[in-house]
Structure 1
């Protein structure tokens, strides 16, 4: 089990992460964009680092949102949601039918969820480039959308992330955890 802290331009994140043939994590984040919020999550994967569960609770002044996003062993996505109070923007959840080809979730603003596809395909160590579809969970609304992207090996512990309209060269540690995500987060060494 590792305790990890990332500092972000608009907040911070702490996660307790256990890596073996799968990934299990609990975390908490605070952020400011688009409104101040506090977020807690639980993440579990099946062996091979494919999402099994992402459970998220987020709240701010006068509102709260919750989502339990699940992927079955057969690849079917489902979610349960809750929304109280007023938060401008989309409601939690979304069309799960468009996620059939997604193996991974991506919690917006969290560098941890970039770990799963990189580990599954050993992209921090092996040459290659892979295209993925993610179940992208927008924060703080917890609205889920289909999000295509690409990860490409750049060198030892270095991977390029690309999606429509954005790209970043990620630095990872020997466990495949994101150490530096330019423009998003930097792991604080303890």
Structure 2
């Protein structure tokens, strides 16, 4: 079954908002999104995300606009752990399966969906191709996801402890694997509209 979702978050970390139009089918996620923020400076972001089987990132294209720059990024993954950004190899993120767009709650979903962490399981460690916003620089990011407790949060969701470096946050994911509440980063607004196709 294919499920389409419209997800909007208030992003406290950027003092802004993000809306994503996400389509999830068996093992794959496609999404397009727009965000506006004021931290670290006023910006607009537009992105398109495409994953292959197993929710592995295939391509992320991003446009970021600030008062004095418009930047673009075309980030591609070859399916075997190698990445290129705007045609240049990125050996520092070799082995990563996922992108992680900064200040974007949607991109936390891919590892969660791939490993079913929103339903349980044990701690997992990942290398991510992390994209900073609004400058669109790609860097390696080591991240750990640890499912906590049982289901029983809002809408049958589960909290997963996210850790990277010294940062920790217990993130609530819904039963479909999308972020509901990410303390210190974002919280989803109630106008989320699920629909089946």
Q: Which runs of 5+ in 2 are unaligned?
A: 152-157, 192-197
Aligned counterpart in structure 2 of residue 30 of structure 1, from 28, 36, 44: 36
With normalisation by structure 1, the TM-score equals 0.91
Quick one: distance in 2 between partners of 1:43 and 1:108? 14
Q: Which has the higher helix share?
A: 2
Residue 50 of structure 1: aligned partner: 56
Q: Residue 148 of structure 2: SS of its match in structure 1?
A: strand
User: Higher relative contact order at CA 8 Å, sep ≥6: structure 1 or structure 2?
Assistant: 2
Aligned counterpart in structure 2 of residue 7 of structure 1, from 2, 10, 22: 10
The residue correspondences of 1:1-150 to structure 2 (distance < 5 A) are: 1-9=4-12, 10-20=15-25, 21-80=27-86, 96-150=90-144
Pairwise CA distance, 1:98 = 1.1
Quick one: distance in 2 between partners of 1:72 and 1:33? 33
CA distances 1:3-35 after superposition (whole Å, capped 9, x unpaired): 110012210000100112200000000011111
**How many residues are treated as equivalent by the alignment?**
178
Residue 159 of structure 2: aligned partner: 158
Q: Which runs of 5+ in 1 are unaligned?
A: 82-92
CA distances 1:124-173 after superposition (whole Å, capped 9, x unpaired): 11220000000000000000000001000103221000010201001011
Moved over 6 A (4+): none
With normalisation by structure 2, the TM-score equals 0.87
Residue 182 of structure 1: aligned partner: 183
Q: Residue 15 of structure 1: SS of its match in structure 2?
A: strand
